[in-house]
Chain A
Amino acid sequence: MSTPSALPDDALLERLQRGAFDYFVQTMNPRNGLVPDTSRDNSPVSIAVVGFALSAYPVAVERGWMERAEAVRRSLLALRFFRDSDQSGSPTATGYNGFYYHFLDIHSGARVWQSELSMIDSSLLIAGMLTAATCFTGDGAEESELRELVDLLYRRVDWCWSQDGSGTIRQGWKPESGFLHYGWEGYSEAIVLYALALGSPTHPISADCYPAWTATYQWENLYDQDFLYAGPLFVHQFSQAWVDFRGIRDRFMREKQSDYFENSRRAVLVQRKYAQLNPHEFIGYDENGWGLSACDGPSDEQPQVQNERRRLFGYAARGVPYGPDDGTLSPPAVLASLPFAPDLSLMALRNMLMRYPQLLSHDRLSTSFNATLAGSDGQPWISPGHYGLDQGIVFMMIENHRSERYWRLMRGCAYLRDGLRRAGFSEGWLAPCAAQGAGQ
């Protein structure tokens, strides 16, 4: 097999997308359809990763990587699990009020790690469910059941409750202590959460919730880029995996004469500039060595790491320009910028793969590496195993780059469309005449 970095773009992307998809195929629990957070031993389930898996199956069918019946079977396994799951909100339940705990035991589906009932991760799971329902439109009993289950699971989410009477959606809830006492502040990956919460026909959030959130935005000129500021790259990618933001704009972006797609492109330019300046003089940072995002990283506790009076952050949302930055870069975050800045993303990815071929195993990218913390053999620190979130976002963004398939598909999701409109998005494919031809 040829060296990946030597492949032409199309072949390279095909391999990386297939490798990402195989993560879901290989790690799914065949009894309940749940997918682990990472490939490491005893990893719990991350509900968001299940959302990415549900999004991936139908497109894998289109690409000929999975039989349609198998994709539907896998999807139904997960959907039935969530339908039947314990929704009592007890400390060992699976969810509450239609939301789910962030991390679940992969066998029983019970909450682990005392994790929070996560609004954003639940919304990524629901987005995956809606993707499946939008794709599997066949008349057969199984596909009909799939759509009915998705509708039931979406409609039972009490988004309104998640506001807790406050102006914006809370970040989480715990049975031991109630709502986490802080909400969303500043631009984040939560547009899809707000859109789904506004589009609900059963328990929508109040109409003023979205503007209350966007009122915390910061419009900044940084490194000569005018952009809606958020430090980590994933913030500029997660909602964009499902929603085609080209040409549709909410009030904030209308006023700034930009849109969220263009904003994600500028976020790439900001990352490149930061890595070029490389204020902390880390190894491997340059115009083709960037990608500060939420990812695993070395920590002070790891015995193999020689900490040179530098603080290391473990798993953290690394960002620019304020950090945290400990020299750790996330190649999947670079690849997930593909739709916004294809040439720059590919250049950076190829550069990283040429320098550090070991970032790729089973055609899947490690979540992160740190070349400044090279071991005695001169090799960089590399996060062991693979993260499901990385494989999910990489799979979807390669697909959007190649075919715009998710963007076209999700235009047909009435709940998402309604939610975006209620958030104030208009123009482009949301214009009345455009929506008529959008299916469903």
Chain B
Amino acid sequence: MKPRFDATVHTPEDVFERQRLAAVHPQAWNNPQPSGRYQLVIVGAGPAGLAAAEEAAALGTRVALIERHLIGGTCFNTGCVPSKTLIRTANAYAEMREAARYGAQLPADIRVDFAAVMARVRRIRSHLTCTTSVRRLAASGVDVFFGQMRFEGVDSLSVNGQVLQFDKALVATGARPHIPDLPGLRQAGFLTNASVFDLTDLPPRLLVIGGGPLGCELAQAFQRLGSKVTIVQDLPLFLGHEERDAAQTLSDAFARDGIEVRLNTQATVVRLEAGEKVVDLVSADYRSTIKVDAILTGVGRRPNVQGLALEAAGVDYDEGSGIAVDDQLRTSNPRIYAAGDVCLAGKYTDIAEESARIVVRNALLGGRERLSERVVPWCTYTDPEIAHVGLYVREANARGIPIKTFTVPLHEIDRTITDSEEIGFVKIHIRDGSDTILGATIVSRHAGDMINEITLAMVAGIGLRTLAKVIHAYPTKTEAIREAAMAYNRTRLTPRVLARLHRWLAR
């Protein structure tokens, strides 16, 4: 008889882990001796802190970087990097099972070696962290400190009791998973993004609580790797902030994958019975109970603002929304800035990095750059991926901006048909009456790559009229973007314009 799933999770100690930890938090590391006042002290060495440190060091600034735990933060260690690595393997298995769809022979025996899957995750995570190792940072001129920090005053802080003076400081301490207040959850045990990548055994039955980006990505990945996944979301659709049609497409994809989708549903209580996690669910008046081997949660993320003594530095914050910043990312203390997840609603690596670069220029070079001027894309890496940039229709409506959407379903694009990847669409939102792009949503197996063309157009001020002139290599999926632009051009051929054209042609 197969032994019961062991729900305890320990970080595997293998060569990859040893390599990674040596890079991101070497045991033998001695904090440097500060040689006077720093021009910039950065608190937190996640994507935001690292981007700021690299930018500041490149300027020749005296810069210190303080990290409590691991260099690289959530993204590298417990977020984007391991999750995308895992998703790639999950998608490979999904394609194997769909072989017949591509006219290929269905492999006779599709067996998932989960330990090998996770070993690959750790190998690739370790490989990537080497590019941001502590020693490399130190070599580039950054004083790297490990330890607990707290502000001591408006221009000073301490790390493990050692005091650092600063001209300017950047708080980039990130965010952590928000554990729902669910009776019995802590006693029963649960996974979050911080522990799920340490698994070496596949949970046969997995409950995912929360339908945000990471919950959706991992629910699909684990289903494809062989878990029986149930996903519970207390809203009518997944990815609450995304467009309805995008979220609906995702729900359909989940159902095709065999995930048990429970929308408008809340988990109300968890209990352990004979080693199983028993979870009560309620949807309006419908009550049910499911038994699982593991629960993945961490719905939403909470900013890391505790234990920093922000009060001592005069930095205003809120436990829920994080550090209060203005559009130039200044806190209530003019010396101190914040960037990334600790202060921004959009908790994505690309936004975190960009906000940190803005801080460096504003804090050190007297810049007046504003975050709201940036065009920020993001993507949820489910299959299909869901990518967005700029305004949503509802935001435009709320601001009274007339908006029109040019929609191209991917089944109109030759390359998606040749690849049997017709599910999805490109929606480009323009200011009605002009060709100015306000935003876009793309749902496609490669939406994350496709959205960059729209971002480029928005940053460069390129409208749909110009995009319509851009020849796209045939056959490619990004032709959908040009198709939307050409549809715009056809709307300019009003009956009046056409009548004049016909008269002219008939001369």
Residue of A nearest to B234 (CB): A181
The one of B236, B284, B405 that contacts A174, using a Cβ cutoff of 8 Å: B284
Whether, in the assembled complex, A385 has its beta carbon less than 8 Å from a beta carbon of chain B, the answer is no
Report the interface size class on chain B.
Answer: 20 to 34
A221 to B493, CA, bound (A): 14
Which stretch from A212-220, A261-269, A388-396 is at the chain B interface?
A: A212-220
Within 8 Å CB of B402, what residues of A?
A: 255
Asked whether B488 lies within 8 Å of A221 as measured between CB atoms, the reply is yes
Whether, in the assembled complex, B201 has its beta carbon less than 8 Å from a beta carbon of chain A, the answer is no
Main secondary structure, interface of A, reads loop
Q: Which of B400-456 contact A (CB under 8 A)?
A: 402-407, 409, 411-412, 422, 425, 427, 432
If A114-B285, A311-B256 touch, does A219 touch B432 (CB 8 Å cutoff)? yes
Which stretch from A64-72, A118-126, A282-290, A318-326 is at the chain B interface?
A: A318-326
Whether, in the assembled complex, A222 has its beta carbon less than 8 Å from a beta carbon of chain B, the answer is yes
Residue of B nearest to A217 (CB): B397
Asked whether A221 lies within 8 Å of B425 as measured between CB atoms, the reply is no
Asked whether A186 lies within 8 Å of B244 as measured between CB atoms, the reply is yes
A373 to B15, CA, bound (A): 54
Within 8 Å CB of A208, what residues of B?
A: none
Asked whether B407 lies within 8 Å of A220 as measured between CB atoms, the reply is yes
What is the 8 Å Cβ interface bit string for chain A, positions 204-238, against chain B (1 contact, 0 not)?
Answer: 00000000000111111110101001000000000
Asked whether B405 lies within 8 Å of A219 as measured between CB atoms, the reply is yes
Asked whether A322 lies within 8 Å of B285 as measured between CB atoms, the reply is no
Whether, in the assembled complex, B95 has its beta carbon less than 8 Å from a beta carbon of chain A, the answer is no
Asked whether B397 lies within 8 Å of A216 as measured between CB atoms, the reply is yes
Asked whether B397 lies within 8 Å of A181 as measured between CB atoms, the reply is no
The one of A186, A221, A229 that contacts B491, using a Cβ cutoff of 8 Å: A221
Within 8 Å CB of B236, what residues of A?
A: 182
Asked whether A279 lies within 8 Å of B487 as measured between CB atoms, the reply is no
Within 8 Å CB of A229, what residues of B?
A: 405, 407
The one of A176, A215, A255, A256 that contacts B394, using a Cβ cutoff of 8 Å: A215
Whether, in the assembled complex, B75 has its beta carbon less than 8 Å from a beta carbon of chain A, the answer is no
The one of A174, A182, A218 that contacts B393, using a Cβ cutoff of 8 Å: A218
Whether, in the assembled complex, A440 has its beta carbon less than 8 Å from a beta carbon of chain B, the answer is no
A114 to B285, CA, bound (A): 9
Please count how many residues in chain A sit with their CB below 8 Å of the partner chain's CB atoms.
Answer: 29
Within 8 Å CB of A321, what residues of B?
A: 407, 409, 411, 425
Residue of A nearest to B486 (CB): A224
Which stretch from B158-166, B179-187, B247-255 is at the chain A interface?
A: B247-255
- Output the least CB separation between B246 and chain A (Å): 9
Asked whether B285 lies within 8 Å of A177 as measured between CB atoms, the reply is yes
What is the 8 Å Cβ interface bit string for chain A, positions 178-221, against chain B (1 contact, 0 not)?
Answer: 00111001100000000000000000000000000001111111
Whether, in the assembled complex, B245 has its beta carbon less than 8 Å from a beta carbon of chain A, the answer is yes
Whether, in the assembled complex, A277 has its beta carbon less than 8 Å from a beta carbon of chain B, the answer is yes
Asked whether B285 lies within 8 Å of A174 as measured between CB atoms, the reply is yes
Residue of A nearest to B416 (CB): A279
Whether, in the assembled complex, B507 has its beta carbon less than 8 Å from a beta carbon of chain A, the answer is no
Whether, in the assembled complex, B490 has its beta carbon less than 8 Å from a beta carbon of chain A, the answer is yes
Whether, in the assembled complex, B264 has its beta carbon less than 8 Å from a beta carbon of chain A, the answer is yes
Within 8 Å CB of A177, what residues of B?
A: 284-285
Asked whether B405 lies within 8 Å of A220 as measured between CB atoms, the reply is yes
What is the 8 Å Cβ interface bit string for chain B, positions 248-279, against chain A (1 contact, 0 not)?
Answer: 11001001100000001000000000000000
Asked whether A322 lies within 8 Å of B284 as measured between CB atoms, the reply is no
Whether, in the assembled complex, B473 has its beta carbon less than 8 Å from a beta carbon of chain A, the answer is no
- Output the least CB separation between A106 and chain B (Å): 23
Asked whether A322 lies within 8 Å of B491 as measured between CB atoms, the reply is no
The one of A176, A216, A224, A277 that contacts B411, using a Cβ cutoff of 8 Å: A277
- Output the least CB separation between A358 and chain B (Å): 30
Asked whether A220 lies within 8 Å of B411 as measured between CB atoms, the reply is no
Within 8 Å CB of B404, what residues of A?
A: 219-221, 226
Within 8 Å CB of B245, what residues of A?
A: 322
Whether, in the assembled complex, B398 has its beta carbon less than 8 Å from a beta carbon of chain A, the answer is yes
Q: Which of B465-500 contact A (CB under 8 A)?
A: 487-488, 490-491
If A182-B236, A323-B252, A324-B252 touch, does A279 touch B411 (CB 8 Å cutoff)? yes
What is the 8 Å Cβ interface bit string for chain A, positions 233-256, against chain B (1 contact, 0 not)?
Answer: 000000000000000000000011
A229 to B393, CA, bound (A): 12
Asked whether B425 lies within 8 Å of A322 as measured between CB atoms, the reply is yes
What is the 8 Å Cβ interface bit string for chain A, positions 321-349, against chain B (1 contact, 0 not)?
Answer: 11110000000000000000000000000
The one of B256, B284, B405, B488 that contacts A218, using a Cβ cutoff of 8 Å: B405
Q: Which of B197-252 contact A (CB under 8 A)?
A: 235-236, 244-245, 248-249, 252
A339 to B244, CA, bound (A): 30
- Output the least CB separation between A103 and chain B (Å): 15
Asked whether B405 lies within 8 Å of A221 as measured between CB atoms, the reply is yes
Residue of A nearest to B430 (CB): A221
If A114-B285, A174-B285 touch, does A221 touch B487 (CB 8 Å cutoff)? yes
Within 8 Å CB of B405, what residues of A?
A: 218-221, 229
What is the 8 Å Cβ interface bit string for chain A, positions 287-299, against chain B (1 contact, 0 not)?
Answer: 0000000000000
- Output the least CB separation between B110 and chain A (Å): 15
Residue of B nearest to A114 (CB): B285
Within 8 Å CB of B425, what residues of A?
A: 321-322
Within 8 Å CB of B249, what residues of A?
A: 322
A277 to B416, CA, bound (A): 13
If A182-B264, A186-B244, A322-B425 touch, does A219 touch B255 (CB 8 Å cutoff)? no
A226 to B425, CA, bound (A): 17
Asked whether B491 lies within 8 Å of A226 as measured between CB atoms, the reply is yes
Asked whether A322 lies within 8 Å of B422 as measured between CB atoms, the reply is no
A385 to B404, CA, bound (A): 42
A216 to B235, CA, bound (A): 17
A181 to B282, CA, bound (A): 13
Within 8 Å CB of A219, what residues of B?
A: 403-405, 432
Within 8 Å CB of A218, what residues of B?
A: 393, 405
Within 8 Å CB of A279, what residues of B?
A: 409, 411, 422
Asked whether A176 lies within 8 Å of B284 as measured between CB atoms, the reply is yes
7 contacts between A and B (CB under 8 A): A216-B394, A221-B406, A221-B487, A221-B491, A322-B245, A322-B409, A322-B425
Q: List 8 additional contacts besides A176-B284, A255-B402, A322-B248; criterion CB under 8 Å.
A: A114-B285, A182-B236, A218-B405, A221-B487, A226-B404, A277-B411, A321-B411, A322-B425
Sorted nearest first, the 3 A-B pairs with minimum C-beta distance are A176-B285, A279-B411, A215-B397
